[in-house]
Amino acid sequence: MRLFAKPVQPPPKKPTTKTARGIISPFVYNSVTRKVKMFVRRGHCFYMNKKAETKLSLDTEVQFLRGVGPRRAVVFGQLGVHTVGDLLEYYPRDYEFRPPLCLMNEMNVDHQVTIAGQVQTTRYIARSRPPRFTLTLEDATGECRLIWFHGGYLRDKFTPGDFIAAWGKVSRYKETLQIVNPRWMKLDTIDELFEQQDTGNAVYPACADLSSGEIARIIRSALDEMLQQVAEPFPDEFRRQRQLPLLRDALAWIHRPESAEHASQARRRLAYDELFLMELGIGLRRARIQKWQPAYTLPLDERIDGRIRRLFPFPLTPDQDKVVDEICKDMARAEPMNRLLQGDVGSGKTVVALYAALLAVGHHRQAAIMTPTEILAEQHFQSIEQYLKHSRVKRLLLKGGLTGQKRSEVTDQIAQGQIDIVVGTQALLQSDVTFKNLALVVVDEQHKFGVRQRKIIRSKDIAPHYLVMTATPIPRTLAMTVFGDLDVSTIEHPPPGRQPVDTRWIAPDKLPQAYEFIRSRVKQGDQAYFVYPRVQEEAAISENEPDDVLSPFGQIKAAVAEHQKLQQEVFPELNVGLIHGQLDRQTKQQTMEEFRAGRLHILVATVVIEVGVDVPDATIMVIEHADRFGLAQLHQLRGRIGRGSRQSYCLLFGRAATEQAQQRLEIMTQTTDGFRIAEEDLRLRGPGQFFGTAQHGLPELKIADLINDFDLLRMASRDAFNLADQDPELKNPDHQILRQTLQIKFGPNLTLIDAG
């Protein structure tokens, strides 16, 4: 197979060349370079590789493959395929094992068959109901009609004279045999069909401008040559112990399986490689930090433990004691702690984080607590003030709006070590904020930060211990990938006295009854949140947004307009407040203070209250257009209530326009278990969206499935971390292929994995 044209002598006048598909003519010749520049086939111009002597490599641009060219290369680029290596890793989404080939005079009604022949006529009937595209196919024994309903996209795919194969179920219309909506492929020769008869037909993710069949044909024509460029990264013994085929065999089988078993083995090997490389990148970065960045040793003794516990007006729960012990053991070592503290909303993570911060302060070091929003920062600071108001610990809330002389004074105090605990948002990452002896960094809701932001606060000669907190429980699979370099501590049970939140999905016709229920609860001393997906109403509904995805309550409601309606029409006798992200800091702070003090009965808000707001008397959470929120976000919003001993209620207003939206709302009414919700969220959304893996510097998974491949992930993680411990810089000659592959997969993100 020749993919690139070689320099040739000047062709004769008006040359023509016979091929299996007809005449290619004429060559366009450049007398200066003495090379063929392009050729014309059926009116289309295909550019040839100028460096004719260049061999195919995995870095070669995909346009230089046979059958691609510049125009199709643009379409491939939209599918994420830019190079030969990308195309080799463009895996099928399914397989079809074709029925046996038969002649047209041997076809029987209701049988599955494969036929091959020459296209005689084509016709698109747009006005029929439904519209249909028809094609007459003929071989030496007869003819058959092929019909595609809604087949307008095929009008430019076939030309009379094309040689194609089609397969499907035979039916009869009047006296004519036909196949409705068949699968098909173009052929150069009949031999091509015989070669593939026993192999599975790969079905690729496609688009309007590039069908699965066209992608399959391009891959088949270049597969053997592409496979020659593949190097095996693992020793034979390593593969045999894990029952993994050769990488070259796996890639051949995934595109051209001889059986379903071959396709299964190929998928397992390729999924293992993806997971191994991901875990290796994480493991190498972790090993590098532990080796080159020492941390302060902060051992816990009875004196410090007693002084810390006396600051809390309650005993810690058994779960809190367990995770405190795990954290303290980490902080006693000279290696920086990298630990994930996860627990459901309201489980008491803030108390554990404060314990760790006070351990650092007990050793005359500093601690920083970083949050994604000012509301959450203020909430943490108020909690800390509540516990530390009679202590000598110096604490500070660093806000982004602080400027001028006052900011200079504050940053000087931090730099001189006069402040023990600093709470803030991204303001902690600004260049003028330096610590004298920062020993601990606590990051709350860390998935809301970009990976580069989180890296800044760690880049010191002496690395601080690092504690991640999240109220979005993380499935085990994601804990090993997105947070693969962090040890995991889990608070599984809430503090005693908490009641599960009663969650109800409210139909549109039940809205008046729901309002009356809220009114009666508020009159008994409870408070309520009303959460909306938008701040302002849109001027007009997008033309691309069909009516059936809008709420049955009308156009998508917005917080500002609904605040006025609730105050003036629905609850005129109550005090209704408003808070959203576009308000200035002082207004937001004042509104929250009035709500906490009980002067506001109802708080209308956007998702600005998603995390951090803690008002014990708020027992009702109304989420308007709940079908438009994700599972994790719904669970976070529900976590703002149920913090006291009284029964709390979460009311979901909305109509599910899609099956996935319906599943989300049903799950919310069935359970309050954050870990089950997280598993369901991962299943519905996939790993790429669950926690924004892109911002963690991790490559997207092309074939591995974090839900179904957990055992494979566990094996890959163990193997990768063992290798990272043995050869943290991959200097061993046997590991050079892995090193090169890792650099290609991670690119510039390899240095950021420690922050992930």
Give residue-wise pLDDT tens across range 463-488: 889 898 887 666 665 665 556 667 88
Is residue 165, in this structure, part of any structural domain at all? Answer: yes
Residue 597 dihedral angles phi and psi, to the nearest 5°: -80, -5
Lowest mean pLDDT among 30-44, 225-239, 256-270: 30-44
At 344, which amino acid appears? Answer: D
Instruction: List the CATH number of the domain containing 597.
Output: 3.40.50.300
- Alpha carbon distance 371, 235 (integer Å): 45
Residue that wins the pLDDT comparison between 340 and 267: 267
**Judgement on whether residues 344 and 464 belong to the same structural domain of the protein:** yes
Is residue 691, in this structure, part of any structural domain at all? Answer: no
Residue 678's pLDDT band, with cuts at 50, 70 and 90, is confident
Q: What is the pLDDT of residues 122-167, one digit of tens each?
A: 999 988 889 999 999 999 899 999 999 988 888 888 999 999 999 8
Q: Which pLDDT does position 480 carry in this prediction?
A: 59
Q: Which pLDDT does position 84 carry in this prediction?
A: 92
Does the pLDDT at position 46 exceed 60?
no
Q: Percent helix, strand and coil across the chain, each rounded to 5?
A: 40, 20, 40
Q: Which pLDDT does position 10 carry in this prediction?
A: 41
Is residue 89, in this structure, part of any structural domain at all? Answer: no
Is residue 321, in this structure, part of any structural domain at all? Answer: yes
Q: What percent of the chain has pLDDT over 90?
A: 37
Q: Which pLDDT does position 620 carry in this prediction?
A: 93
What mean pLDDT is reported for the chain?
80
At 306, which amino acid appears? Answer: G
Is residue 426, in this structure, part of any structural domain at all? Answer: yes
Q: Taking residues 197-214, report their average pLDDT.
A: 80
**pTM higher than 0.95:** no
Does the pLDDT at position 659 exceed 90?
no
Does the pLDDT at position 265 exceed 70?
yes
Element (DSSP H or E) covering residue 134: strand 132-139
- Alpha carbon distance 87, 230 (integer Å): 13
Is residue 324, in this structure, part of any structural domain at all? Answer: yes
If one counts the domains in the chain, the total is 3
Classify residue 456 by burial, with Cβ atoms within 10 Å: 0-12, 13-18, 19+. middle
Instruction: List the CATH number of the domain containing 126.
Output: 2.40.50.140
Is residue 251, in this structure, part of any structural domain at all? Answer: no
Q: Which pLDDT does position 258 carry in this prediction?
A: 81
Does the pLDDT at position 722 exceed 70?
yes
Q: Which pLDDT does position 503 carry in this prediction?
A: 93
Q: What percent of the chain has pLDDT over 70?
A: 80
Strands 421-424, 44-47: pairing kind = unpaired
With beta carbons less than 8 A apart as the criterion, state whether 643 and 527 touch: no
| DSSP state string for 663-676 | HHHHHHHH---HHH
Q: Is the peptide bond before 10 cis (omega within 30 degrees of 0)?
A: no
Does the pLDDT at position 516 exceed 60?
yes
Which domain covers residue 110, as residue numbers?
A: 98-199
Q: What does the block give as tokens for 478?
A: 């994601």
**Judgement on whether residues 471 and 553 belong to the same structural domain of the protein:** no
Q: Which pLDDT does position 34 carry in this prediction?
A: 32
Neighbours of 379 (CB within 10 A): 21
**Judgement on whether residues 462 and 544 belong to the same structural domain of the protein:** no
Is residue 371, in this structure, part of any structural domain at all? Answer: yes
- Alpha carbon distance 612, 592 (integer Å): 12
